[in-house]
């Protein structure tokens, strides 16, 4: 029906389309009959043909009791995307994409335009630990290196499979899935008659506090509302290192994704033209169409970045340099940090622990000029380098706003290298 409506729109009316909606449905039905029991064979032959003719195309599969049980594939562009943007990897299972009820698992990341990018995809017959272990090993074999951070939901099989395969990666659970359970786990009377919901959200989503601060505030919160013995809250506290942002300050780009919303958005796009009645061959055609659309949007963003003229908001050289080396999407974020570093940060204290370094306290204001935090910047007077106690963990730019504040007020011309 989607194909029929598309042709009606393209040709200017129903009378210009050769065929009725019933004809289109019959064709789809006849196509499935033609494929018949050869579906898995045709699907694998298509992958094998690509393996033989396309450079660096990878696929692997397993057969159990004469039936296709698992398959994974990734082409050359997926490998190149992973090499460039594979610091943070997210994956989430989705259903109703084929007639065999095989679970579709795309591997998703974020590119330098803040758009979803696919690193590969797989189909598994069951969501068991063994299936996920096989799938992750196939992914690792295709790409060769492990990601810095792996993001998934609370699926028990994923929870055990990820550390078994990605031994060098940090595993992070989707915060949204956890916080979504809050109303069902805590009595509605407690949530409706108190500020518990807002207090919990303000605490767990805070990206500025350290682990010890989170633990102290969490205990105070439970005591305030009398929830020290609440089993679900205690269970979530016991795995706090798997989902609370305070425990992900160290990994680079750790705040690029905190939830699997990117995965769900990508999964929804893959399911637009795919239904539970599709054969594997039809599913593969739908998948390839969506990947082509994804890569087209990436090319459009590349063109816009290369053709956009610079319009700065300050007279600072670092702003123009940032425009030259970043994409439009990233530059928009860096530009905000430059402006905030100029107008919303100022030095409040300065000490000299040695002849070659300065410890500088930078006060951080919000849009209402209220003090939100104070960060300590270590400034090396010899090589004019600087580092901040916030570790740039919430910033996209090469220089965080606090370090930039120090450079600006010290009248030091500091432009990051072209990397």
pLDDT score for 343 = 84
The chain-wide mean pLDDT, for the chain, equals 86
Confidence of residue 73 (pLDDT cuts 50, 70, 90): very high
Share of the chain above pLDDT 90, in %: 41
pLDDT score for 139 = 97
Q: Of 3.30.420.10, 2.60.120.10, 1.10.287.470, 3.40.20.10, which CATH number belongs to 8-174+259-299?
A: 3.30.420.10
Q: How far is CA 249 from CA 189, 373, 395, in A?
A: 35, 16, 11
Average pLDDT of the residues in 104-119: 92
Of 331, 340, 345, 339, give the one whose Cα is nearest residue 315. Answer: 339
Cα separation, 397 vs 33, whole angstroms: 55
Q: What is the pLDDT of residues 121-154, one digit of tens each?
A: 999 999 999 999 999 999 999 999 999 999 998 8
Give the number of other CB atoms < 10 A from CB of residue 20: 11
pLDDT score for 245 = 87
pLDDT score for 107 = 94
Q: What is the pLDDT of residues 250-307, one digit of tens each?
A: 776 666 777 777 777 777 777 777 777 788 888 898 899 899 999 999 999 999 999 9
């Amino acid at each position: 029906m989607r194909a029929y409506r598309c042709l009606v729109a393209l040709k200017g009316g129903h009378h210009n389309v050769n065929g009725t909606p019933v004809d289109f449905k019959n064709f789809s039905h006849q196509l499935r009959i033609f494929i018949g029991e050869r579906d898995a064979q045709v699907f694998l032959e298509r992958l094998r043909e690509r393996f033989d003719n396309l450079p660096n195309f990878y696929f692997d599969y397993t057969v159990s009791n004469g039936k296709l049980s698992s398959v994974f594939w990734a082409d050359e562009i997926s490998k190149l995307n992973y090499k460039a943007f594979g610091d943070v990897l997210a994956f989430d299972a989705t259903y109703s994409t084929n007639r065999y009820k095989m679970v579709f698992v795309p591997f998703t990341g974020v590119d330098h335009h803040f758009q979803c990018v696919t690193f590969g995809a797989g189909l598994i017959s069951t969501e068991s630990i063994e299936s996920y272990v096989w799938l992750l090993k196939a992914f690792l074999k295709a790409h060769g290196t492990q990601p810095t951070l792996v993001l998934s939901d609370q699926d028990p099989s994923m929870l055990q499979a990820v550390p078994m395969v990605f031994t060098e990666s940090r595993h992070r659970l989707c915060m949204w899935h956890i916080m979504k359970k809050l109303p069902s786990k805590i009595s509605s009377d407690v949530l409706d008659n108190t500020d518990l919901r807002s207090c919990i959200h303000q605490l767990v989503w805070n990206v500025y506090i350290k682990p010890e601060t989170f633990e102290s505030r969490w205990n105070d919160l439970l005591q305030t509302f009398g929830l020290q013995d609440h089993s679900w809250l205690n269970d979530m506290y016991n795995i706090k290192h798997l989902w609370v942002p305070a425990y992900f300050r160290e990994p680079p780009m750790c705040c690029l994704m905190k939830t699997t919303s990117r995965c769900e958005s990508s999964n929804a796009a893959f399911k637009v033209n795919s239904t539970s009645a599709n054969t594997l061959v039809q599913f593969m055609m739908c998948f390839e169409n969506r990947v082509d659309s994804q890569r087209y949007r990436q090319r459009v963003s590349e063109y816009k970045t290369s053709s956009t003229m610079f319009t700065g908001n300050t007279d600072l050289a670092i702003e123009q340099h940032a425009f030259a080396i970043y994409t439009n999407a990233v530059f928009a974020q860096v530009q905000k940090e430059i402006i905030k570093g100029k107008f919303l940060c100022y030095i409040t204290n300065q000490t000299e622990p040695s002849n070659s370094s300065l410890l500088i306290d930078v006060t951080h204001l919000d849009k209402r000029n209220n003090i939100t935090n104070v960060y300590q910047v270590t400034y090396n007077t010899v090589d004019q380098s600087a580092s901040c106690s916030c570790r740039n963990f919430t910033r996209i730019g090469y220089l965080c706003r606090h370090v930039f504040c120090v450079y600006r007020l010290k009248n030091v011309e500091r432009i990051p290298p072209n990397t």
